Amino acid sequence: MKSNRNYPLLLSGQFLGAFGDNAILAVIVGQLTYLQKAGAITGAELRTSNTLYTSLLFLPYVLLAPLAGYLNDRYSKTAWLTGGNALKLLGTGVCGLSVWFGPVWQGLGYLLVGVGACFYGPAKYGILPEILPRERLVKANGTVELLTLVAILGGAIAGSVLADVFKDRVLVSYGVLGAIFGAALLCNFLMAPTPANPEVRLNRSVGEFTGHLRDLLRSPRLGRVLVGTALFWVCGAAMKINFQPWGLDVLNLPDNTQIALLGLWLSVGVMAGSVLAGQLHPVGDLRRTQRHGFALAGMLALLWSVDTLGFWRAPVVQLGPLHLVVPVVALLIATGFVAGLFLIPLNAALQAESHPDKLGKTIAVQNLFDNLGMLLAGVFVFAGVKAGLSASGVFLGLAVAVAALVSWLRLPAQPAVPGNL
């Protein structure tokens, strides 16, 4: 019998956990803004530290993906929801030790948060068929996605506000974050336990994952679709990492809150482009994907030009505490818009052309590729800093890389026979 309380508790725990995941990173990297302003670190050190901290969240997803899938199949999913948020709470406490023992503890703590998120992720979707009737699954998946998006945006902005307000009392910020993760943990703890499956074996689970990964990569169409979706996340992660130095050095933004809003405008564009893509493209229609990719490369090149072309800098609108460089806001929304047009048809094709019985494994492989892409984005930005690229130069380098990959990404006109992979 399905418990009536599990679904609302799942939604509450998911929102709070995703909110905390993004807020804690904003608190960590937000400290770098004030260290640079005080002259304690250079601009290059800020960019290097920002890149390293941000990449720590993606590392567990890449290294532990098969293990996370096995654990969530083998044991009760409510146990891994609780365990994932417990690791996040522990990681927040470890971050707090940095106040006395130095910034390395922030890195260790945030890595623990990443491990918790990695184990939590498969459970939040895998548990839905166990707690809801089949006819509610589509709506439930959409609700989880919507709450997650709101939590990502809200957490990034709220964490930036914490970093600004408590810049001299970082421990207060970690206390607030600990309370958020603690509340998420309580929500999951109160859920009625779901069943375990002791018949699942690690070697078989990992073997099935790697076998399906190999099959997808051998597909002339779906292998390239996977690369395409990962390319979207490469761009998103690289831009997120680059916004802090770009906002400080090029736009002269005054604080972390204003920098966080750059990501908000980009996300607004992605949402608008995603909605329009669903209206323009039938499932499996990828004929315009390459054009959208080239448009994305062009928008990234325009972001590079903000540093050299003065007309991007005005007018500036001051709405209370908000400092809005209007042309830059429009440019970021437009960049997100074409990125949404690029991504959504690829996602739909991957889901529609995968074997229905293997769709879960396909999504797991896609998650691995997407997180590997975000990790590679960190490597890309790190290499750019070491090579002496400015924050604007990173956008130009990203534009060139996107254009080159999109040129290679020539997808077969006809989809694979449904059910093959």
Q: What is the pLDDT of residue 296?
A: 96
The pair of structure tokens assigned to 26 is: 């904003």
Query: Residue 84: CB partners within 8 Å, gap ≥ 6?
Result: 17, 116, 117, 118, 119, 120, 121, 123
Find, among 239, 229, 216, 238, the residue nearest to 405 by Cα.
229
Q: What is the pLDDT of residue 1?
A: 43
Find, among 71, 358, 336, the residue nearest to 206 by Cα.
71
**CATH number of the domain at 1-200, out of 2.60.120.260, 1.20.1250.20, 3.40.50.1980, 3.40.50.300?**
1.20.1250.20
Question: How distant is the alpha carbon of residue 5 from its chain centre?
Answer: 28
Instruction: Write the CATH number of the domain with boundaries 209-421.
Output: 1.20.1250.20
Is 244 in a helix, a strand, or coil?
helix
Numbered ranges of CATH 1.20.1250.20 in the chain:
1-200, 209-421
Contact status, residue 223 vs residue 216, Cβ threshold 8 Å = yes
Query: Residue 350: CB partners within 8 Å, gap ≥ 6?
Result: 222, 225, 226, 229, 362, 366
Q: What is the pLDDT of residue 114?
A: 94
Q: What is the pLDDT of residue 415?
A: 64
Regions of the chain where pLDDT drops below 70? 1-3, 138, 142, 356-360, 412-421
The pair of structure tokens assigned to 161 is: 């506000």
User: Nearest 5 degrees, angle CA 47-CA 367-CA 83?
Assistant: 90
Contact status, residue 336 vs residue 268, Cβ threshold 8 Å = yes
Contact status, residue 66 vs residue 209, Cβ threshold 8 Å = yes
Separation between Cα atoms, residue 60 and residue 107, nearest integer Å: 13
Cis-peptide, bond into residue 315, ω within 30° of zero: yes
